[in-house]
Amino acid sequence: MLRTSVLRLLGRPGTSGVSLLEYSSPRHYSSGPLGAPDDGRGARAFFTTPIFYVNAAPHIGHLYSALLADALCRHRRLQVPSAAATRFSTGTDEHGLKIQQAAAAAGLAPTELCDRVSAQFQQLFREAGISSTDFIRTTEARHRIAVQHFWGLLKARGLLYKGLYEGWYCSSEECFLPEARVTRQPGSSGDSCPVSLESGHPVSWTKEENYIFRLSQFREPLQRWLRGDPQAITPEPFHRAVLEWLEEELPDLSVSRKSSHLHWGIPVPGDDSQTIYVWLDALVNYLTVIGYPNAEFKSWWPTTSHIIGKDILKFHAIYWPALLLGAGMSPPHRIYVHSHWTVCGQKMSKSLGNVVDPRTCLDRYTVDGFRYFLLRQGVPNWDCDYYDEKVVKLLDSELADALGGLLNRCTAKRINPSGTYPVFCTTCFPSEPGLVGPSVRAQAEDYALVNAVATLPAQVADHYDNFQIYKALEAVSSCVRQTNGFVQRHAPWKLNWESPVDAPWLGTVLHVALECLRVFGTLLQPVTPNLADKLLSRLGVSATERGLGELYFLPRFYGHPCPFEGRRLGPETGLLFPRLDQSRAWLVKAHRT
Ligand code: ME8
C-alpha cells in the first residue's frame, strides 16, 4: 500500500520568500503482523527524548521519558532487528539564560556546570539500561553547525525579521508569557512579584530588539497537518489541545536575545550582538543527531517519533513543526506526549525537597524492577503518583509472585526432574476445542488461555503503537495470571511422571506453561531486559530466537514442529525476582524519620 498526502503552504505576498512548500507524507509499506509495521516509516525508525536542562540533577520524571523512548525503541528492534534500522537519541540542553543563571548562582563557569550535570544524566541512563544510539550535548561543535545552518535557511526564506519584542520572560521556562499567564505573589520582602501562573517561577519584563520568526504564517499549515494526521500527536487529548490552541491567534516568535543579556548560547550567524533563542537551539538537536546539514539526515527525517512531557507540548507541536515547515521540511512523524509524576500527591520540586532520586530507586528496586514499575504505572494521559509502598506492592505481586512463581512452578526439579522442555501431546490437548475422548484433558478455559497468549504479541504491538506501554504490560500481566490459573487448575504436582496415563498430560501442562512464559519473556524484553534474558535463558531460548519474527507460540498445537521440545533448560535456577518486602528495612526506617 502506498499513500501520499500533500500539504501546501502558500507564501503570503510581501512576508516571506516561501512560495510553495510541498509536504509529502512518507511511504506506507504493508508487511506481516510482526515484521516491519505498516506505520508509515518503512523499516526505519528514529526515537528521541527531550534533551534535559543541566541546571539540576536528573529525577524520576526524566528517567521516565527516557524509559518510554527506550521501550518503544527496543520493541521496534524486536520487530526489525537490523541495527541500521533504528536510531534513538537523548542528551542535554546546555545553553540559555536558565543555565547561565544556575552556573552563576553555583559560582561555576557554565561549561563546568554543564560537564558535571550532563555526566550525571549519562551515568543514570547507562545504569538504567537506556539503549540510546546518541547522546547529544548542545555545546558540541556539530550542533552549532546544524543550528547556524538551520538559521541560515530560515533567513534565506525570508522568515526572520528584526523588530522590537517586549513581554514577560520566564527564564525557568525559557519563554515569553502572555499577560494572562502572569500573576503576582508576595516576594521575600513583602512586595508583589510577577510570576508565571503555571510554574510560580519569577518573570521579568523584557524589551529588546530581536530577530523574530514569522510564526503567524504557519497557523493554517499546522492545522492542516494535524487535521490530516489524527495520530500525529498521541494520546488524542493532546492532539485536541493543540488544535484548540491553534484556534487562537498565533503571534510571531522572538528567536534571539541580546548577547549582552544572554551570552551563553550560539551566536546568530553574521550578527554577534544576538544569541539564538535556546528553544530554537534545542529543537534542532533532533536534526543534529541524524547528521544535519549533511544529506544523510534525509533518510531519517521525518521518520521520527518525539517522546516528550506535556510541559513542552507547545514547543514541539507548534514551534518545531512551524520551524521545520519554514525550513522546507516535514513535521515529525509522531509526537508522543506523557503526563507527569507527582510524589505523594505533590508536584516534584527542589523547593519542596521531595525530588525522587532515580539512582536510589534503581539500587533499591533493581534496574528491571524500577523500569517495570515506571512503565507499568505510568499512564501518559494523566499524572501518576509515586510512593515507595506502591513500588514494593507491584513488584512483589507481579514480578516476584506471579511471574517468578510461575517459572519456578514449571521448572523446579521436583516437578520437572529431567530439566527439559517437555513434549506436547496433541491427543491430550487437541487443536479443536470440545472434542471428547478418554485422553482429552484440555478444558474450555485452557483454549481461552491459548487464544489469549496467541493474540498477545499483536495486542502488545498495538499498545506500543498507541503509546500505551502500560496497557501492553497490563495485558502481559493478565496472561501471566491466566497461566497461573491454568497450572493451578491442572495441579501438575499431583500428576506422576511414572504413570503412562498422567505423563503425557503432565508434559503437556508444563509445555503449555513454558510456551506462555517464552512469549512473556520475549514481550518483556523492551521493559525488563535483564529479567527477560534470565527468563528466556532458563527456558533454553537462544539469543537468535528472541525476536518477534521468531515467536511462534505453541507450534505443536497448530500442527507444526516445536524446536524447543526435548531441549535442556538453562542452568540458572535462582529466583527470577526476589520479593522486596523481606528486604525493605530502609522503607520502615524512611517512614520513622
Ligand atoms: O524542558 N514527570 O528540559 P527539562 C514526568 N530542555 N516527566 C517529567 C517530569 C515529571 N515530573 N519533569 C520533567 C526541557 N519531566 C528542555 C527540553 S527538548 C528539545 C528541550 C520530563 O530538563 C518530561 O519529558 O525541563 C519533560 O518534558 C522534560 O523532562 C523536561 O525536561
Domain assignment present for 533: yes
CATH code, 556: 1.10.730.10
> d(Cα 24, Cα 326) in Å, to the nearest integer?
15
Q: Per the structure, how many domains does the chain have?
A: 2
Looking at the CA of residue 93, tell me the nearest atom of ligand 1: 6
In this model, does residue 5 exceed pLDDT 70?
no
Domain assignment present for 363: no
In angstroms, the Cα distances linking 494 to 62, 406, 424, 441 are 49, 16, 18, 15
Domain assignment present for 383: no
Residue whose CA is at the smallest distance from ligand 1 atom 14: 52
Domain assignment present for 496: yes
- Over the Cα atoms of the chain, what is R_g? 27
Q: Which pLDDT belongs to residue 419?
A: 95
Residues 334 and 395 in one domain: no
What is the distance between the terminal CA atoms of the chain, rounded to a whole angstrom? Answer: 62
Give the distance (Å) from ligand 1 centre to CA of residue 356.
15
Give the distance (Å) from ligand 1 centre to CA of residue 340.
9
Residues 394 and 334 in one domain: no
Residue whose CA is at the smallest distance from ligand 1 atom 16: 52
pLDDT band at residue 18, thresholds of 50, 70 and 90? very low
Contact of 302 with 331, CB cutoff 8 Å? yes
Q: What percent of the chain has pLDDT over 90?
A: 81
Residues 165 and 229 in one domain: yes
Boundary (domain end) residue, out of 315, 338, 361: 338
Position of cell 541500521?
84
Q: Which pLDDT belongs to residue 37?
A: 58
3-state secondary structure 220-285: HHHHHHHHHCCCCEECHHHHHHHHHHCCCCCCCEECEEECCCCCCCCEECCEEEEEECHHHHHHCH
Q: Which helix (H) or strand (E) holds 509?
A: helix 502-524
pLDDT band at residue 261, thresholds of 50, 70 and 90? very high
Number of H helices, E strands in the chain: 19, 20
Residue whose CA is at the smallest distance from ligand 1 atom 21: 62
Query: Which residues' Cβ are closer than 6 Å to ligand 1?
Result: 50-53, 61-62, 64-65, 93, 282-283, 285, 308-309, 311-312, 340-341, 348
Q: What is the pLDDT of residues 510-549, one digit of tens each?
A: 999 999 999 999 999 999 999 999 999 999 999 999 999 9
Give the distance (Å) from ligand 1 centre to CA of residue 468.
19
Q: State the DSSP code for 315.
A: I
Q: Which pLDDT belongs to residue 118?
A: 98
Nearest to 550 by CA among 84, 39, 35: 35
Class of residue 11 by CB neighbours under 10 A (exposed 0-12, middle 13-18, buried 19+): middle
In this model, does residue 86 exceed pLDDT 70?
yes
Give the distance (Å) from ligand 1 centre to CA of residue 62.
6
Q: Which pLDDT belongs to residue 350?
A: 77
Residues 440 and 556 in one domain: yes
Give the distance (Å) from ligand 1 centre to CA of residue 97.
17
Contacts 24+ apart (CB under 8 A), 395-399: 395/365, 395/369, 395/577, 395/580, 396/579, 396/580, 396/581, 398/372, 398/477, 398/480, 399/368, 399/369, 399/372, 399/528, 399/531, 399/576, 399/577
> d(Cα 254, Cα 174) in Å, to the nearest integer?
12
Residues 270 and 415 in one domain: no
Give the distance (Å) from ligand 1 centre to CA of residue 300.
24
Q: Which residue has the higher pLDDT, 586 or 104?
A: 104
Domain assignment present for 10: no
3-state secondary structure 13-65: CCCCCCCEEEEECCCCCCCCCCCCCCCCCCCCEEEEEEEEECCCCCCHHHHHH
Helices assigned H by DSSP within 327-440: 358-365, 367-377, 388-394, 405-411
In degrees, rounded to 5, the angle at the alpha carbon of residue 157 between the alpha carbons of residues 153 and 161 is 95
Strand order in the sheet with 204-213: 175-177, 160-170, 204-213, 253-254
Residue whose CA is at the smallest distance from ligand 1 atom 3: 52
Residues 60 and 145 in one domain: yes
Residues 183 and 108 in one domain: yes
Q: Which pLDDT belongs to residue 509?
A: 98
Q: Which residue has the higher pLDDT, 178 or 19?
A: 178
State which of 47, 52, 339 you would mutate to test the pocket of ligand 1, scoring each by most atoms of that ligand within 8 A of its C-beta: 52
| Torsional class of 96: left (φ above 0), alpha (ψ -120 to 50), beta (otherwise) | left
Lowest mean pLDDT segment, chosen from 48-52, 80-84, 140-144, 403-407: 80-84
Angle, helices 469-490 vs 60-79, to 10°: value is: 70
In this model, does residue 7 exceed pLDDT 50?
no
Domain assignment present for 423: yes
Residues 444 and 299 in one domain: no
Position of cell 519584542?
165
Per-residue burial over 24-59, b = 16 or more CB atoms within 10 Å of its CB, e = otherwise = ebbeebeeeebebbebbbbbbbbbbbbbbbbbebbb
Residues 332 and 423 in one domain: no
Lowest mean pLDDT segment, chosen from 15-19, 238-242, 569-573: 15-19
pLDDT band at residue 23, thresholds of 50, 70 and 90? very low
Q: What is the pLDDT of residues 312-357, one digit of tens each?
A: 999 999 999 999 999 999 999 999 999 999 998 899 887 788 999 9
Cell of 263: 551570552
Q: Is 152 helix (H, G, I), strand (E, B) or coil?
A: helix
Looking at the CA of residue 310, tell me the nearest atom of ligand 1: 27
In this model, does residue 216 exceed pLDDT 70?
yes
Task: For residues 422-427, give the mean pLDDT.
Answer: 97
Cell of 207: 524589551
Lowest mean pLDDT segment, chosen from 25-34, 47-56, 492-501: 25-34
Domain assignment present for 268: yes
Task: For residues 562-569, give the mean pLDDT.
Answer: 97
Q: Which pLDDT belongs to residue 32?
A: 31
In this model, does residue 31 exceed pLDDT 70?
no
Residues 317 and 402 in one domain: no
Domain assignment present for 574: no
Q: Which pLDDT belongs to residue 19?
A: 27
Q: State the DSSP code for 318.
A: I
pLDDT band at residue 199, thresholds of 50, 70 and 90? confident
Q: Which pLDDT belongs to residue 42?
A: 65
Give the distance (Å) from ligand 1 centre to CA of residue 308.
7
Q: Which pLDDT belongs to residue 41?
A: 61
pLDDT band at residue 186, thresholds of 50, 70 and 90? confident
Lowest mean pLDDT segment, chosen from 31-35, 221-225, 551-555, 556-560: 31-35
> d(Cα 179, Cα 387) in Å, to the nearest integer?
37
Q: Which pLDDT belongs to residue 359?
A: 96
pTM of the predicted model over 0.75: yes
Domain span holding position 525: 390-568
Residues 319 and 412 in one domain: no
In angstroms, the Cα distances linking 465 to 184, 303, 331, 335 are 43, 14, 18, 12
Lowest mean pLDDT segment, chosen from 38-42, 222-226, 236-240, 433-437: 38-42
Residues 300 and 395 in one domain: no
CATH code, 174: 3.40.50.620
Nearest to 173 by CA among 151, 141, 195: 195
Give the distance (Å) from ligand 1 centre to CA of residue 53.
8
Boundary (domain end) residue, out of 338, 358, 374: 338
Lowest mean pLDDT segment, chosen from 167-176, 332-341, 365-374, 477-486: 167-176
Task: For residues 205-217, give the mean pLDDT.
Answer: 95
Side-chain half-sphere of 356: how many Cα atoms within 13 Å? 23
Averaged confidence pLDDT in the chain = 90
In this model, does residue 22 exceed pLDDT 80?
no
Q: Say which amino acid occupies 127.
A: E
Q: Which pLDDT belongs to residue 29?
A: 24
